[in-house]
Chain A
């Protein structure tokens, strides 16, 4: 073999090993979490996933509190972000004056560029006090605590609760979802839109009967992408969720998520079992987010994202 061919082979192998490294990262991630979390899972058994106990003093840990907190905040964020993201995307594609579409789209995408910790500070120092004063307090004073609504909105009026965490998460995932929605709506063939307009449809009817059904599949993918982000988001949530391990009993109760629990306790974990329990929490989070993100990628396909 001559020198050039050898050089070619070497370069190809170098590139291949870099690509394999990307794969190895994900495999290593899973392996490290399994190894790290195994002592806790084998020690507590299935109880680990159903118990809401989290007591570092007695070395007794259960994942249910943070797990429910993670799911509730992420789903809440999706309910807030989905209509907003859809609205933004439809507005930018259908109604926005052409000259404004680019700067407005850029502004929305810039929301994705703001670091998580900045969202956290803003949430803690700006959103939470405002929310406590103008939403929580009036509700607390005007609702009978024994009614359904009273129970739903019950909680210490300090603004650090599950709902504000969802609100912050919604703002954070909004740009990702809106950007994918927008790109998808742009793939709707013009003749379909024009045919519908030609039949006398209003914009509302064109969007809801023609455009959204056309992109339905990848729209679900975009929702899953946002969900995956919301599930694993750490710093912003840690600032505003109140960090209590109790099972949340109202919308305005403080709680915790898997990510916020790890962020708060890992560096100061008191015992080996505590570290292992946090690793096991990480494993749970890995499984949930991997499934969600994998589904998102399969639904969106490569081109639209």
Chain B
């Protein structure tokens, strides 16, 4: 074997390196495509009007996911109302009042930790606080658990967005004689509206597929229910139950549910990013 020159060896090494990084990218994108492909193949076939008009069936009868979708909508809507109120206010405090104070840095740090904290622990927490004392699973507890997961996302985005507003805007408001609170509400929030919507959308994307925190808060309900003090169905908990069952028709319903959830979450993500990018471009 001919001895390779030093030059040649470096070139080969470099080529292998470029190939390896390309391979990593192909694998990552390939995983995404594979998952989306499985979702479409297994979920699209079961999709039909009955999915939206019928409640989840007993095994081996025809049925849909109406109760689960209605439950998911109620839980997420309630959670988002709570999360947007708390998150926007908290983010506003961090951006407008907190500055670099010790307390503000601590809140920021803990918020960042909460951002990736295991969602199942939030479920346990809400169980201790809202389920055990009242001796029953409830939709309200589920919504609070989801809200706690969305708050850090909204807080973080809100702070980042408000910081982007120029100080001239604040000074102009003050110069007209407005108080700080009025400037924030009437000028800064209004100027940041697309960004605040992005935060809410990203928060929604974070919680709408969450299963773990609902397992022992809102529990799940095979019937359509609007009672906030009763257990309520949700798409993720129904998918969990159906996917692990032994019945083929339940499994195919689980695929349909998974497809619906994935489409919802991905579009919320993409929409949120698109809004954020339009703002950056402006």
- Counting chain A CB atoms within 10 Å of each CB, which of B97, B117, B240 scores highest? B117
In the bound complex, do residue A121 and residue B258 qualify as a contact, i.e. CB atoms below 8 Å apart? yes
- CB neighbours of B125 from chain A (8 A): 25, 28-29, 32-33
Could you say which of A16-24, A60-68, A148-156, A245-253 contacts chain B?
Answer: A16-24
In the bound complex, do residue B17 and residue A36 qualify as a contact, i.e. CB atoms below 8 Å apart? no
- CB-CB under 8 A for A285 and B210, given A84-B27, A110-B32, A302-B108: no
Q: How many A-B residue pairs have CB under 8 A?
A: 269
Q: For residues 223 through 238 of chain B, which have their beta carbon under 8 Å from a beta carbon of chain A?
A: 236
B246 CB → nearest A CB, Å: 13
Instruction: State whether the Cβ of A133 lies closer than 8 Å to any Cβ in chain B.
Output: no
Number of interface residues of B (CB under 8 A): 90
- CB neighbours of A29 from chain B (8 A): 117, 121-122, 125
- CB-CB under 8 A for A239 and B244, given A11-B181, A104-B25: yes
Docked pose: A234 CA to B210 CA in angstroms: 10
Instruction: For B254, give the chain A residue with the smallest CB separation.
Output: A121
Instruction: State whether the Cβ of A8 lies closer than 8 Å to any Cβ in chain B.
Output: yes
- CB-CB under 8 A for A116 and B117, given A11-B181, A28-B129, A87-B23: no
- CB neighbours of A202 from chain B (8 A): 10-11, 13-14
In the bound complex, do residue B93 and residue A174 qualify as a contact, i.e. CB atoms below 8 Å apart? no
Instruction: State whether the Cβ of B58 lies closer than 8 Å to any Cβ in chain A.
Output: no
Chain B contact surface mostly: helix
In the bound complex, do residue B90 and residue A12 qualify as a contact, i.e. CB atoms below 8 Å apart? no
In the bound complex, do residue B113 and residue A290 qualify as a contact, i.e. CB atoms below 8 Å apart? yes
Instruction: State whether the Cβ of A184 lies closer than 8 Å to any Cβ in chain B.
Output: no
In the bound complex, do residue B107 and residue A23 qualify as a contact, i.e. CB atoms below 8 Å apart? yes
In the bound complex, do residue B209 and residue A115 qualify as a contact, i.e. CB atoms below 8 Å apart? yes
Instruction: State whether the Cβ of B276 lies closer than 8 Å to any Cβ in chain A.
Output: no
In the bound complex, do residue B179 and residue A116 qualify as a contact, i.e. CB atoms below 8 Å apart? no
A36 CB → nearest B CB, Å: 5
In the bound complex, do residue A84 and residue B24 qualify as a contact, i.e. CB atoms below 8 Å apart? yes
- CB neighbours of A117 from chain B (8 A): 209, 211, 236, 239-240, 258, 261
In the bound complex, do residue B38 and residue A122 qualify as a contact, i.e. CB atoms below 8 Å apart? yes
- CB neighbours of B261 from chain A (8 A): 115, 117-118
Extra 15 A-B pairs, beta carbons < 8 Å, given A22-B90, A125-B38, A229-B116 = A12-B181, A15-B93, A25-B151, A35-B128, A114-B32, A114-B262, A115-B261, A117-B239, A118-B39, A126-B34, A126-B38, A203-B17, A204-B17, A239-B243, A302-B108
Binding site for A on B (CB under 8 A): 10-11, 13-14, 17-18, 20-25, 27-29, 31-32, 34-35, 38-39, 42, 85-87, 89-90, 92-94, 96-98, 104, 106-114, 116-122, 124-125, 127-129, 148, 151-152, 155, 179-182, 184-185, 205, 208-212, 215-216, 219, 236, 239-240, 243-244, 251, 254-255, 258, 261-262, 265-266, 269-270, 273
